[in-house]
Amino acid sequence: MQTLEIRDLAVALAATPETPIVKGLNLTVRSGEVHAIMGPNGTGKSTLSKAVAGHPDYTVTNGDILLDGKSILKMEPDERARAGLFLAFQYPSEIPGVSIANFLRAALQSRLGENENINAANYYKTLYEKMDLLQIARSFTSRSVNEGFSGGEKKRCEILQMSMLKPAFAFMDETDSGLDIDALKIVAHGVNTLRGPELGIVLITHYQRLLNYIVPDYVHVMFDGRIVKSGDKTLALELETRGYDWLKPAPQPPAAS
């Protein structure tokens, strides 16, 4: 059982550290749990996931992120990934000329010791098993990472990577954005397949739609950089009928000058 604990976290763009986007957020995720973070655009949902994954454009100005009790704030993004964090990107980058098979192989190799080498036969066996499980055609592996992919293919590529890299905690940033209903179902199938006692998932989503296919254990609503309400899956349904406005915090009185 592993734990990811976000404590009183404040995050800003590195260029403007005096203007936080995430403003004191608390969240604890344990292995096996699926959390959904919902909220209107611009409330800091994506910023939260980027800060957890160590994006260089963002800076943590307060609070801490603890993986099994140890702070990860001083770790480089690649160290965090090897420690067990995974971010499924909203807009995954294209890597021309690098095949998915070679890319994943390098990612797995980087998790081994100096003198350990990936067994190529076992690697391909595992890769093909995961692809079958996620209903991805074999020809996919020789394509360049995300290059010329449709929105749905990009998201499937993210989920394939997640299944191969076996993270302890995965943040899925707007995984449903830009997907038609068929692609959404395929992605949801992937996530449901990977769901299990070893993996903690944080789904970041704008719409309730994804939660028709992936049923979360917990739902949190984010507003203006904070979680303003938490509940179980029924909260998502309530949001569907009532919208977000009823959760909007009362405007802060202007600071005394």
Residues forming the site for other proteins (CB under 8 A):
53-56, 76-78, 81-82, 86-87, 89, 92-98, 102-103, 106-107, 109-111, 144, 161, 165
Residue found under tokens 């692609």: 183
Q: Closest CB to other proteins among 93 and 234?
A: 93
Q: How far is the CB of 160 from other proteins (least distance, A)?
A: 12
Q: Closest CB to other proteins among 171 and 218?
A: 171
| CA dist., res. 203 & res. 171, Å (int) | 6
Q: How far is the CB of 106 from other proteins (least distance, A)?
A: 5
State the amino acid at position 152 in one-letter form: G
Q: Closest CB to other proteins among 130 and 226?
A: 130
Q: How far is the CB of 186 from other proteins (least distance, A)?
A: 21
Beta strands in 34-88 (DSSP E): 34-38, 58-67, 70-71, 85-88
Q: How far is the CB of 70 from other proteins (least distance, A)?
A: 17
| CA dist., res. 46 & res. 106, Å (int) | 27
Residues ≥6 apart with Cβ < 8 Å to 215: 34, 233
Closest C-alpha among 7, 63, 10 to residue 224: 10
Q: Closest CB to other proteins among 118 and 215?
A: 118
Q: Closest CB to other proteins among 12 and 227?
A: 12
Q: How far is the CB of 15 from other proteins (least distance, A)?
A: 13
